[in-house]
Amino acid sequence: MQRVLPVIVFALVLISARIIGAQNSELFGNLQPLGALFFCGMALFGLRGVILASAVWLISYPITSIMQGYPMGAEMIVPAFGFAAIVRLARFFRNSSAVKTFAGSILAAVAFYLITNTLSWALDPLYAPKSLATLGQALWTGLPGYAPTWTFFRNAMIAQAVFSGIFLAATQTVSIASSKRTTQAFS
């Protein structure tokens, strides 16, 4: 139980962050740690590192969608494709330096934004006619009545940088502490 408790607490903190972000989407739109957690989880720990991010997203997605007035259904496939792309990209950064992993995480945020907004443009009938102009609208301003999509991109980049930095620093700190304990045990 002592090994599982920190994971449960961390998951609850992440779910709470998603809910707070959904309640204040104008201020905190897309300012959340999931992209960084998916990327760093895969890059640092492999598929087992993606389990927590997946669980948090699957639990929080319906809650945040309902809070923001979005329908539940096939729309869930859009962020799922984005997160799958992040995980796929992170595989190329397994066993890389922290600097390379951090840069890859930023690249993953760009990929997520381009994939999810392009899919939204392709699937949403409100982006009509399907043209380069409406694709540009999807990538920059979005649909009328919502915050501009560039603000979501900005917040995603900020969140990806901050949370990836935190996850990488925490991993480095734990790794250094573990190696010191191992060294002391053999002394």
pLDDT in tens, 13-52: 888 877 777 777 666 666 788 999 999 999 999 999 999 8
Q: What is the pLDDT of residue 27?
A: 65
- Please report how the helices 34-45 and 98-123 are oriented relative to each other, as an axis angle in degrees rounded to 10: 130
Structure token digits, residue 40:
């760093």
Q: pTM for this one?
A: 0.84
Q: What is the pLDDT of residue 179?
A: 62
Phi, psi of 124 (to 5 degrees): -90, 120
Does residue 68 carry a pLDDT above 90? no
Q: What is the pLDDT of residue 181?
A: 61
pLDDT in tens, 129-148: 999 999 999 999 999 888 88
Q: What is the pLDDT of residue 46?
A: 93
Whole-number mean pLDDT of the chain?
A: 86
For residues 100-117, average pLDDT: 96
Q: Quick count: other Cβ atoms within 10 Å of Cβ 104?
A: 19
Q: Which residues of 85-100 are buried (b: 16+ CB within 10 A; e: fewer)?
A: bbbebbeebeeeeeee
CA distance 144 to 138: 10
DSSP one-letter code for 47: G
